[in-house]
Structure 1
Amino acid sequence: MTEHSEDRKPEGEGQIIMPFYLLCDVSLSMTGDMDELNKALGQLHQQLLGEPIINDLVMLSVITFNHEARTVVPLAAPEELNLPALSAGGGTDFSPPLREFHARFSTDRDRLKSEGKRVYRPCIYFLTDGEPNNTSYQATMASLITKEKNAAYPYICAFGFRDASAQTLQTLAYPDFGENNKRGRYFIAKDGASITDVLQAMVGVLARSILQSASSASAGTPLVALPEPNAVSKMGGSFV
């Protein structure tokens, strides 16, 4: 994992919270994969529950998307999460989940700050099995996600398999500036990798990323730890 300090550290004396958002593609093409996706999310949840430090410092949310998006798991500590069974259907549009994240994080940040918490820069893990039906998400990225329009811009790590292309995943990974080890990441499944292979590999790397991030906050030097490009077995990775 490579670690990143935030450009501007959280201010104040309250508890630091490190928010993570999982954006999961549940479009029609994912129909045959939903059992594996639900299983993987459950395994990730169990791994996080096994680390008390994570419950103190990390909050997690799940946003699903097809041609629209909705928050199915509001931002909360792992011990407070209830994971619903996800189902698939609809088309694929990347703009709705990005807009949903932006709206939700704005609300979550205000709520946490009102509770005396210090909110660290958010991190998005974006999972898709294919290409979007249009390219409008690029304008959404530019207007809501990037540093030029959003001082609280997120780190984005994109994962793709089946029909997803490296070119599209690269446009999602963020930040796209600075030194390589401070840039976003994107990972794409290698030829022959199954959805089971990919999701199992992702569970492990996401759990390690979140644990390392929480450990840094506990030590008083909060850092977002993103996976190295070679960290996910069955997937090829790259800095954006």
Structure 2
Amino acid sequence: MGSDVLPCYVVCDVSLSMADHIDELNTGLREFRGAVHADASVTDRVLCSLVGFGEEPRVVQRLYPLDQLAELPSPGPCAGTNFGPVFPFLRSVIDTDVQALERHRVRVHRPLVFFLSDGQPTDPVTWPAAFSSLTDPAWERRPRVVTFGLGDADEEALSRIGGFRTYLGRDGVRVGTALIASVMHVLSTSRPPDGRTLS
């Protein structure tokens, strides 16, 4: 592991409507893994976690080096796409992960969250308040958030969430390309932090 690392959280909608996109997402994850490993200067600096959500979020894979990056499971029977529960869940996961890294004296960049969905949130009234907890300026570990919309994704909602950048598959952008561009941009424009301060 490098002396400074970027924790990257790939957060994927795995509700039933995503069945047509799972192969595309897994191809994108493989492209992402391959591209990072092809660049020796960043291979040891990126750790990745995979989170799935539908009605409730769950960790598919904890924060590991990219060569251990898993694939997404097939969507379950849940029809709901609840955005709200994902955000406090992510905040808790990020806190736990960053604390563990800091105990090993690793300098940690502000995390990157890559949020993918193809649908409309089924909790349109409540998710914005939940999202604000993830991006609270007073929280030093608040992540940069990139969104990626597949199919008929709610562009307005994704634009509100993707404060760092929003990509849309219907514009011809590939998942792997967007992931690679986001990670490389963060690593090339942010300095590794000193002590407990996240860049």
Q: TM-score, normalised by structure 2?
A: 0.84
Is the 2:36–2:180 contact (alpha carbons within 8 Å) kept by the matching residues of 1?
Answer: yes
2: CA distance, partners of 1:110 / 1:119: 10
2: CA distance, partners of 1:24 / 1:67: 12
Residues 216, 173 of structure 1: alpha-carbon distance in 2 compared, 3 angstrom cutoff? closer
Q: Aligned residues: percent identity? A: 30
Contiguous gaps of at least 5 residues in structure 2: 194-199
Matches within 5 A, 1:90-239: 90=78, 91-135=80-124, 136-148=126-138, 150-174=139-163, 184-190=164-170, 197-198=172-173, 201-215=174-188, 221-222=191-192
Deviation at 1:123, TM superposition (A): 1.0
Aligned length: 189
Deviation at 1:18, TM superposition (A): 1.2
2: CA distance, partners of 1:143 / 1:120: 19
Q: CA RMSD in A?
A: 2.2
Aligned to 2:21, the other structure's residue is in SS state: helix
Residues 209, 163 of structure 1: alpha-carbon distance in 2 compared, 3 angstrom cutoff? closer
Matches within 5 A, 1:69-84: 69-79=57-67, 81-84=68-71
Residue aligning to 2:6: 18
Residues 215, 188 of structure 1: alpha-carbon distance in 2 compared, 3 angstrom cutoff? closer
1: CA distance, partners of 2:21 / 2:183: 24
Contiguous gaps of at least 5 residues in structure 1: 1-13, 175-183, 224-240
Residues 120, 170 of structure 1: alpha-carbon distance in 2 compared, 3 angstrom cutoff? same
2: CA distance, partners of 1:85 / 1:161: 15
Is the 1:129–1:161 contact (alpha carbons within 8 Å) kept by the matching residues of 2?
Answer: yes
Residue aligning to 1:178: none
Deviation at 1:215, TM superposition (A): 4.9
1: CA distance, partners of 2:178 / 2:71: 22
2: CA distance, partners of 1:96 / 1:113: 26
Is the 1:126–1:156 contact (alpha carbons within 8 Å) kept by the matching residues of 2?
Answer: yes
Residues 214, 185 of structure 1: alpha-carbon distance in 2 compared, 3 angstrom cutoff? closer
Specify the structure having the higher radius of gyration (Cα): 1
